[in-house]
Amino acid sequence: MDKSASSWAITPPSSFKASLAITHIGSATTLITITAKNGAKNGNKTTFLTDPIFSPAGTAFPVTADFSLVVQIDPALSLSNLPPIDAVLLSHEDHPDHIDAPSRQLLHGRQVFTTPDGAAVIGQGRDRGGLWGLRPWESVTASIGGSEFTITGTPCEHLPGGEVTGFVITTSDFGEDEQGRPHAVWFSGDTLYLPEAHRQLKDKYNILVAIVNLGGVMIDWPPPLPAASQPTTAPSTVDVDPATESEPGKLQTTMDGKQAAQLCKDLEVSVLVPVHYEGWLHYTQSKESLVKDLEDEGVAGRVCWLPGGGEARRVI
């Protein structure tokens, strides 16, 4: 099977009555498009947008006096070229590499799933319908794009003290496996590999597709004094040497290739979709290094690399 073809897709379980396509816009920004293939809802399409970032290359967000988050690649689609968006899955609201100022307009008038802290900021203390702050394993069932979906928060470990969530997407059109576990799509959010939490994830769901934030991000820890977080124009970008877990004064905040491979094995994921590994200066593991890790760990056959240019890839 040609894993580079835009028609790349697995054969779903017989109980799975839908199709799934994913478009990579950049970093952790994706479109997840689910089309029902069941009864009266046949052909009904629902599109989720994850962690929206639409700032152009060269934008920098100062974090500390001597460190900025820098955009290196323009988004594959502009805000004006997006298809209709039914819901936003926002893993964390407080980091500008997961939602920037231009993207916040997308939160108005749409259903938004995020963390409790993120929901409080977005809602500004008002009781706003269609805005949910999910704690780990908390679920919300809602009509999204004309179909009923259940969105469940999953635990994340990112930066100490901050709230981050992953999201499990289920619907009756996905069906269940022989053990009674719902077939599911999972967006990991920014997290490390968490053996106990991810064991629970496997116990609860049959994860057919895992969209996993990688990059092996390493940051200085403890951090220096913070700087203003307003974006500026960055100087020309430079390559960054990969950091290692053993390097003193560093904290790993997202999975690397080896952790992703272990996750893939432990969850028995059918399709692993890497995102969040290129496009920003602070990512420390390149695609080439990720490819090697995933090949070395024997899971390359389950990996679906998304094309660039805003092209959708059918996964199921």
pLDDT of residue 7: 57
Query: Would residue 79 count as lying in a domain?
Result: yes
Predicted TM-score of the model (pTM): 0.89
Query: Would residue 57 count as lying in a domain?
Result: yes
How far apart, in Å, are the Cα atoms of 123 and each of 13, 135, 138? 39, 17, 19
Residue with tokens 């897709």: 9
CA distance 286 to 98: 19
Query: Would residue 300 count as lying in a domain?
Result: yes
pLDDT of residue 284: 80
Please tell me whether the peptide bond between 242 and the residue prior to it is cis, using omega within 30 degrees of 0. Answer: no
Output the six-digit token pair for 231.
């974006």
Q: Which stretches within 102-155 are classed as H helix?
A: 116-123
pLDDT of residue 14: 96
pLDDT of residue 4: 47
* SS3 state of residue 290: helix
Query: Would residue 4 count as lying in a domain?
Result: no
Query: Would residue 97 count as lying in a domain?
Result: yes
pLDDT of residue 257: 95
> To the nearest whole percent, how much of the chain has pLDDT over 90?
70
Taking residues 190-195, report their average pLDDT: 94
CA distance 132 to 149: 14
Antiparallel, parallel or unpaired: β 206-213 and 183-187: parallel
Q: Which of 144, 192, 182, 185 is nearest to 167 (CA)?
A: 185
* SS3 state of residue 155: coil
Please indicate whether residue 115 or residue 157 has the higher confidence score (pLDDT). Answer: 115
C-alpha triplet 152, 277, 139: angle, nearest 5°: 5
Digit-coded pLDDT (tens) for 4-35: 445 568 999 999 999 999 999 999 999 999 99
Query: Would residue 210 count as lying in a domain?
Result: yes
Q: What is the CATH number of the domain that holds 52?
A: 3.60.15.10
pLDDT of residue 162: 79
pLDDT of residue 224: 61
Digit-coded pLDDT (tens) for 153-167: 999 988 777 799 999
Task: List CB contacts of 236: < 8 A, sequence separation 6 or more.
Answer: none
- Domain interval for residue 260: 18-314
Output the six-digit token pair for 215.
């990059």
Residue with tokens 């690397």: 256
pLDDT of residue 245: 44
Task: Return the percent helix, strand and coil in the chain, to nearest 5.
Answer: 20, 30, 50
Torsion of CA 229, 233, 235, 239, to 10 degrees: 60
> How high does pLDDT run on average in the chain?
88
pLDDT tops 80 at residue 77: yes
Q: Which of 55, 41, 39, 17 is nearest to 173 (CA)?
A: 17
The number of folded domains in the chain is: 1
Digit-coded pLDDT (tens) for 239-298: 333 333 435 578 788 899 999 999 999 999 999 999 999 877 778 888 999 999 999 999
Residue 237: pLDDT band by 50, 70, 90 thresholds? very low
Query: Would residue 148 count as lying in a domain?
Result: yes
Query: Would residue 7 count as lying in a domain?
Result: no
DSSP code per residue over 138-162: -EEEEEETTEEEEEEEE----STT-
pLDDT of residue 62: 87
